Amino acid sequence: MRLPACFRPVLHAALAVLSLACVPALAATLPLIPMPQSATPGEGQFTVQPGMTVGAQGEGARKTAEQFIDLLHDSGGPSLVLAEDDAAKDAPIQFTVAPGTGGPETYTLQVTPERIQLNATASAGLFYGAMSLWQLLPSGNAQAGATLDAVTINDGPRMAWRGLMLDSVRHFQSVEEVERLLDAMAVHKLNVFHWHLADDQGWRIQIDQYPLLTEVGGCRVPLGDGGIGEDGQPIQECAFYTKDQIREVVRYAAERHITVVPEIDIPGHATAAIAAYPELGVDRPQLQVANGAGVFPNLFNADESTMTFLENVLGEVLPLFPGQFFDIGGDEAVKDRWKASKHMQARIKQLGLKDEEALQGWMVNRLGTYLAQHGKRIIGWDEILMGGPLPDGAAVMSWRGTEGGIEAARKGHDVVMTPVTHLYFDYLQTASPAEPPGRPSLIPLEKVYGFEPVPAELDAAQRQHIIGVQANVFTEHMHSFDRVEHNVFPRIAALAEVAWSPQASRDLASFKQRLPNLLAHYRALHIRYARTPFQVLFATTPSADGKQASVALSDPLDYADIRYTTDGSAPKADSPRYSAPLTLTVPTTLQAAVFFNDKPLAPPTVLGLTTDALRTRSDEQLAMCTGALMLRLEDDGPRAGPRAVYNVDIFNPCWEWKAAPLSGIASVQIRAGRIPYFFELAHDEYLRTFKKAKTAYGELELRDGCDGAVLGSVPLPKDPGADGFQTLDIPLKAAPSQANLCVYFTGDTRPNMWVLDRMTLIPAGN
């Protein structure tokens, strides 16, 4: 089949765009993410050979050329050499910084039969052009050349702020890990690293005037069994970044044209600081650094001494970060303790303020004035709008949706759109049971890609205040860096295209065709991206007699080419293609994989169809009775090694096997675990429900529907077994042939809660 001209692949080794409907713009068919503004085909080809020289002309060009050569080498591409100054003009690959009409982040990349020419008016644009050239060249096979079709790419960003926030408080990352993330941000043309450095669970930045911030506030005892040593004593974990380490990260980021924006939250998310210096809190509370999650009630007070403390902290922090913005947080500041404190009520009257929201506004304005005096702009989460007028030059991060951003833009303030509905990467990205702990409300890649940061309801002048877009990575559930990478990649590629590419050109089908090329580059750089979006999901329905099962296959990203086998081998390009649910005899082992251009996008998913497996459901396969606040939670032990993971609705912990086949079933076996209940719910506390216990330690009950008739009940033990689990058998009482089998544990969920690991139907006679 001969492809239309607009589908001619720019790189012969690149993935051909076969299934995309013909898009006139060549930019949509290049294997580049984010998609460039425009691309024009030329005549002929250029082959990049190992050992070719790269010439660098103009300020910053040599550094960019060195970075490009190193990146290409590290990702297994052809090895190139930086030309000496006297030979630079004759090199077949040219990087040039020269005056022009484009902005500092724009570039032109031209491939002709004679050479590759990359031009920009500033080193930032040259760097981004180098990242595009890197994507066009193949990863791996360093000894082979790479042939590029002639093309001219003119490119530049849509948005000025293209950001990623990393929470280094809930779980700490080493400097090396942070720099690995910066490397990956750079190849996506992201330019703002928002660094969350202080919260209830820790203070992570050295402050010389207040050493207890790190000596006390930088330490905590991990939750539950994970915080107990072999001697039975608590184990503290301490971590923070020294000023020299901060300078190193900022320097490293700047070399990749990334600005680091620090965040130190006020007045809430302050538990760690108050634990170190109780006089900072409301009525001098004696606190421990938090090891749980949620919204804590501990706030800084608004005394003059506390404001001096905050200004002194800023005075030490600001010189470390040369960027324009400083983030003061401002979110989730529950005012209950301010309201209950006579001292704080007197302070509100002393300052002539209306209420507690106005007091937070006063603190924001006070720090905004201090920052302005030091050449900085204040930025905070959208709650800072609630305390009255913001300082001139203040900017808002709209996280609770886009409404806060709309309000701020209408008031003349700059806005970074970062809504929890689309851009919080601690939410799971697929329904796969292989997803790590997180928030199971899904934010799949296509939802990220579909987010439009500039609201249509703003007029032209107001739209100019939408300066950027950002994804956030809160790490309550990410105790290792590989989990950070899993949650960030490949969704960050979708965010990058939203932030960089023209809105009118964005196309999900095109993006999905270009994504496999980027995945190959991820693998070459050893980025541990999520495979789950590219792996097959199974939905299994057993026959009435259990001798067969119908299995439906699906692909989270709908690449629509699933191959499968039933002979124990991994699927190949010539394996059967899935088109409709499969009827399989029990027992059978089914393997399935998603293919693109006859190559699997991820390792196959394996389903073992056995009689026992069909009678068992894991917690990931069960429904929640209400799903009010479902989380995928990790067990608190062992201290080292793999831990169990459970789906649980912490507001209403019960699990339901819908339409469970109970004909001939005599009992139900439940394997349960128990984890600490470590959530601070603030004003959502009233939503937490549980059923009262009738015996000393509560009961495990089965019902027909979450509020239906009781089908069976057994008392719970005081504790689980030594392995952390407890297996319980519940005889069924007059069960129907089919039921929505609901499981719950009675008794208060605090301080520990029972959770379901799996449910198995046991036939009579077993």
Residue spans per domain, the chain: 5-155, 161-500, 535-610, 616-763
**What is the DSSP secondary structure assignment for residue 525, as one 8-state letter?**
T
Q: Within 13 Å of residue 136, how many CA atoms lie on the same side as its CB?
A: 30
The answer to whether 586 and 609 have CB atoms below 8 angstroms apart is yes
CATH architecture of the domain covering 161-500? Alpha-Beta Barrel (3.20)
What pLDDT sits at residue 734?
A: 85
**What is the DSSP secondary structure assignment for residue 2, as one 8-state letter?**
P
The amino acid sitting at 208 is D
The answer to whether 91 and 67 have CB atoms below 8 angstroms apart is no
- The one catalytic residue among 105, 155, 199, 435: 199
Q: Which residue has the tokens 């096997």?
A: 657
Our answer to whether residue 304 is catalytic in this structure is no
What is the spatial distance between Cα 754 and Cα 653, in angstroms, rounded to a whole number? 9
Would you tell me the crossing angle of helices 304-317 and 356-373 to the nearest 10 degrees? 40
The whole-model pTM stands at 0.95
What is the spatial distance between Cα 387 and Cα 725, in angstroms, rounded to a whole number? 49
What is the spatial distance between Cα 681 and Cα 484, in angstroms, rounded to a whole number? 25
What is the spatial distance between Cα 212 and Cα 572, in angstroms, rounded to a whole number? 59
Q: Which of 418, 460, 473 is nearest to 171 (CA)?
A: 473
What is the spatial distance between Cα 735 and Cα 718, in angstroms, rounded to a whole number? 28
Mean pLDDT of the chain: 94
pLDDT, tens digit (0-9, with 9 covering 90-100), for 375-392: 999 999 999 999 999 999
CATH topology (fold) of 5-155: Chitobiase; domain 2 (3.30.379)
pLDDT, tens digit (0-9, with 9 covering 90-100), for 155-196: 999 999 999 999 999 999 999 999 999 999 999 999 999 999
The answer to whether 723 and 672 have CB atoms below 8 angstroms apart is no
What is the spatial distance between Cα 670 and Cα 655, in angstroms, rounded to a whole number? 11
CATH topology (fold) of 535-610: Immunoglobulin-like (2.60.40)
pLDDT, tens digit (0-9, with 9 covering 90-100), for 443-467: 999 999 999 999 999 999 999 999 9
What is the spatial distance between Cα 476 and Cα 509, in angstroms, rounded to a whole number? 33
Question: How far from 118 is each of 50, 89, 129, 137, 612, CA to CA, in Å?
Answer: 19, 13, 7, 14, 62
Give every residue of the chain whose pLDDT is below 70, as ranges: 1-25, 142-143
Token output for 338: 């301010």
Q: Which residue has the tokens 């080193």?
A: 123
The answer to whether 550 and 583 have CB atoms below 8 angstroms apart is yes
Q: Which residue has the tokens 């007029």?
A: 459
The answer to whether 726 and 700 have CB atoms below 8 angstroms apart is no
What is the spatial distance between Cα 331 and Cα 381, in angstroms, rounded to a whole number? 6
Q: Which of 585, 690, 700, 574 is nearest to 628 (CA)?
A: 690
- The one catalytic residue among 66, 311, 331, 332: 332
Q: Within 13 Å of residue 483, how many CA atoms lie on the same side as its CB?
A: 21
CATH homologous superfamily, domain 616-763: Galactose-binding domain-like (2.60.120.260)
What pLDDT sits at residue 22?
A: 36
The answer to whether 423 and 474 have CB atoms below 8 angstroms apart is no
What pLDDT sits at residue 9?
A: 35
Our answer to whether residue 199 is catalytic in this structure is yes
Partners of 436 in the β-ladder? none
CA 738 to chain CA centroid, nearest Å: 40
What pLDDT sits at residue 19?
A: 32
Q: Going along 78-145, which residue ranges are E strands?
A: 81-82, 93-97, 107-111, 116-120
Q: Which of 121, 403, 367, 152 is nearest to 264 (CA)?
A: 367
**Beta 107-111 vs 116-120: how paired, if at all?**
antiparallel
Q: Sort 523 into a burial class: Cβ within 10 Å, 0-12 / 13-18 / 19+.
A: middle
What is the spatial distance between Cα 661 and Cα 738, in angstroms, rounded to a whole number? 5
The answer to whether 221 and 236 have CB atoms below 8 angstroms apart is yes
Q: What length does the chain have? A: 766
Q: Give Cβ neighbours of residue 685 (< 8 Å, ≥ 6 apart).
A: none
Q: Which residue has the tokens 């180098």?
A: 130
What is the spatial distance between Cα 209 and Cα 276, in angstroms, rounded to a whole number? 13
The answer to whether 435 and 419 have CB atoms below 8 angstroms apart is no
What is the spatial distance between Cα 726 and Cα 411, in angstroms, rounded to a whole number? 57
The answer to whether 383 and 361 have CB atoms below 8 angstroms apart is no
Question: How far from 314 is each of 192, 199, 328, CA to CA, in Å?
Answer: 20, 15, 10
Our answer to whether residue 482 is catalytic in this structure is no
What pLDDT sits at residue 1?
A: 23
Q: Please state the φ and ψ torsions of residue 45, each to the nearest 5 degrees.
A: -145, 160
CA 379 to chain CA centroid, nearest Å: 22
- The one catalytic residue among 171, 196, 269, 486: 269
The answer to whether 634 and 643 have CB atoms below 8 angstroms apart is yes
